[in-house]
């Protein structure tokens, strides 16, 4: 049996965990949660919440991680929730030819007000946007045309966006992708208690609404830089019906 392996590249606070829930609720899909996170923490030395637990519970050897991502799989679909900033320079890109790469983006003014609650003074690299653009352009230069999805479009029209995505991927769409049981998952990373409270309480995609919270003045220049990158990626996005 051949397996469709989907590497879904996003930055933090991009409804990426809700998307993982959606795919895991399909009857034919295996999921994994940020498989390179432990390597990222070990390599960068960053002091993220639950750092020691992550390193103790998750594989930090990127070679072993990459081998698992393209290795034997008993499911027809393998959905891999990936953070683009976790794909550090030392990680070989050769395995990427064995997966179908898609990109999940979110407008920086929505992402930033959420990210700053976890990382008060984020560097642009911690948004994942520069790495997303670099990876997208690299794949594009090799002849690929990766699908780009905007979080807002998914929240506004989840059935259309997900059914169209499945059609483009050549797999059936399941209604089960639109709702799921609340609660924790054994497939969630050990870091879930620090990041996943909202999605654990969810039973489907929350309806999009304009955020009232504004980006603080001290993050405005960073936000403008992010908006430029977002705009470049958004120019390739799949449009809603």
- Write the DSSP string, 175-190: GGGGB---S--TTS-T
Strand partners, 32: 80
pTM of the model: 0.96
Q: Output the pLDDT for position 105.
A: 98
> Which contiguous run of DSSP H or E holds residue 147?
strand 147-150
Q: Output the pLDDT for position 123.
A: 92
Q: Where are the alpha helices (DSSP H) in 47-196?
A: 51-57, 62-70, 108-118, 129-141, 151-156, 158-169, 192-195
Q: Output the pLDDT for position 49.
A: 81
Architecture of the domain defined by 4-234: 3-Layer(aba) Sandwich (3.40)
> Which contiguous run of DSSP H or E holds residue 23?
helix 16-24
Q: Please give the average pLDDT of every successive group of 10 residues along the chain, which has 241 residues.
A: 94 95 98 98 91 95 98 97 97 97 96 88 94 97 96 97 98 98 96 91 94 90 97 96 72
Residue ranges covered by each domain of the chain? 4-234
């Amino acid at each position: 049996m051949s397996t469709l392996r989907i590497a879904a590249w996003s930055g933090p606070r991009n409804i990426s965990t809700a998307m993982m829930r959606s795919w895991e609720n399909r009857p034919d899909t295996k999921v994994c949660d940020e498989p390179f996170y432990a390597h990222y923490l070990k390599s960068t030395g960053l002091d993220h919440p639950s750092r020691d637990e992550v390193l103790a519970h998750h594989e930090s050897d990127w070679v072993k991680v990459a081998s698992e991502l393209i290795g034997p799989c008993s499911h027809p679909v393998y959905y891999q929730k990936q953070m683009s900033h976790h794909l550090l320079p030392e990680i070989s890109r050769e395995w990427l030819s064995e997966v179908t790469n898609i990109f999940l983006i979110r407008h920086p003014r929505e992402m930033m007000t959420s990210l700053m609650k976890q990382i008060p003074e984020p560097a642009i690299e911690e948004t994942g946007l520069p790495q997303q653009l670099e990876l997208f352009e690299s794949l594009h230069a090799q002849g690929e045309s990766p699908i780009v999805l905007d979080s807002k479009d998914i929240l506004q029209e989840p059935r259309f966006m997900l059914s169209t995505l499945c059609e483009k991927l050549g797999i059936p769409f399941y209604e089960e992708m639109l709702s799921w049981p609340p609660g924790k998952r054994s497939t969630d990373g050990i870091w879930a208690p620090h990041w996943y409270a909202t999605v654990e309480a969810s039973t489907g995609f929350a309806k999009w609404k304009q955020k009232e919270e504004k980006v603080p003045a001290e993050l405005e220049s960073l936000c403008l830089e992010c908006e430029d990158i977002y705009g470049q990626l958004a120019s390739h996005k799949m449009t809603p019906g």
